[in-house]
Structures are given as structure tokens and as C-alpha cells.
Amino acid sequence: MTRNIGRLHVLTDTVLQSRFSHVELAEMAIAGGADVIQFRQKQGSTRELIAIAKQMKRACAHRGAAFVVNDRIDVAMAAQADGVHLGQDDFPIPLARELLGKETIIGGSAASLEEARKCLREGADYVGFGPVFPTGSKDDAGPVSGIETLKRVAEAVPIPIIAIGGIGLENASAVIKGGAHGIAVISAVCCQKDPRQAAQALGEILWPALSRQTHA
């Protein structure tokens, strides 16, 4: 499944910023090089979330990016999303696999090596690990792990590790050097003046770093 996991995940957000809709953010991020878009919204009716998710799925499919829904398996199923991302207290990964099938991408969140190993045992396709650095994007973010812990997780867990939490232009290459398969960002794209340009600037750091990791 690694080929579908992607390297530059952008989580769309309309709480930290309100200039752009989820769909607009998805389109701009993909235009800038994002290969995975994650729809993360805690508020709103289920019908509203499904309507937004369906639009996002169309936008992603049209541009060749994977579409992942955070937490809400029902919304993911209704929108025929490519995957779901589940936190430690969200819907259980094994049950999600039963419902969604083996073709669906399932990511799990982890803030420690123990939690990352749990995601692996339960059948996740990738682990969203963090926060690696301090972040203001998530109210429920745990203690900062840092690069050294990220390295230990990447070495110990044989599925792609997507680093998240406080990642931007100044530290993206260090995260990849630390063994991450890719990065996930919110503010570094969504809260910038030009999200497309922000995603492109991240990619200009990310892809060379990944190339160096591959050839190391």
C-alpha cells in the first residue's frame, strides 16, 4: 500500500482560517503538489460533512490525489474516500478494516513508540506520528516528541511514518532525514496567504530530502 500513502499530506481546516473552504484548500494544495488531502472537521451535521467530503473526493480524484477522512468512517464510506485516519480514541482500526475492506487506506495516530506499534499490530497502513514540534493547530496535541523519538519510531515500525506537528519550511528536511516517509501539515499550508504556493514551497524542500533519503 506504500505507493498510495503519499508524501505531502495536507489537512484542510476552516477553524484556524476562514478565507477558504475545505474544497478550495484541497484544490490549491493539490495544485501546489500535495498528494494526500485529509478532511478534518469536528463540527457540523453529518449531512453537511458528507456533502463537503463528496466535493473533496471529486476534486482529489480529478487531480490524482488520495482523499482521506479524519475520524468519521460513516462520512468516508458515504463519500467513497480513499482512506480514513483514526486517532487512538477513535473508531478501532481492526473494525474499520472489516467495514472498509483491504483496499482502503487506514492511518492511525501515535504519539509514542508504543502507540505506533499498536497501530501496526491493528493493521494500519501508515502512522501519523507527532507532534514532532510544538503546534498550535491541534488543541488535543500531546507532548512534543522531537526528532530523536521520530527516528526510533521510524526504525522500529516497518510501515510509513508520516510526521505531523509544527512542521514547516524550516524543519521539513530534518524530519525526512529522521526517517519519516512524509509529512502532514495544517497551518503551513492552510493558514498561509497563498496555500498553493505554500504547498509548492514545502514540496521544493520535501522532494530533494526524500531523494537523498532514498539514495543514502
Active site residues: 40, 109, 138
The three cell numbers of residue 98 are: 472489516
- Compute the distance between CA of residue 102 and CA of residue 111 in angstroms, rounded to an integer: 25
Helix axes 22-31, 195-215, angle to 10 degrees: 50
What is the DSSP-derived secondary structure letter of residue 186?
S
179: which 3 cell numbers? 526517517
Q: Which three cell numbers stand for residue 198?
A: 505554500
Q: Are 19 and 44 a contacting pair, CB within 8 Å? A: no
Name the grid cell of 138.
Answer: 491541534
CB 137 within 8 A of CB 16: yes
Tell me the sheet residues that pair with 66.
36
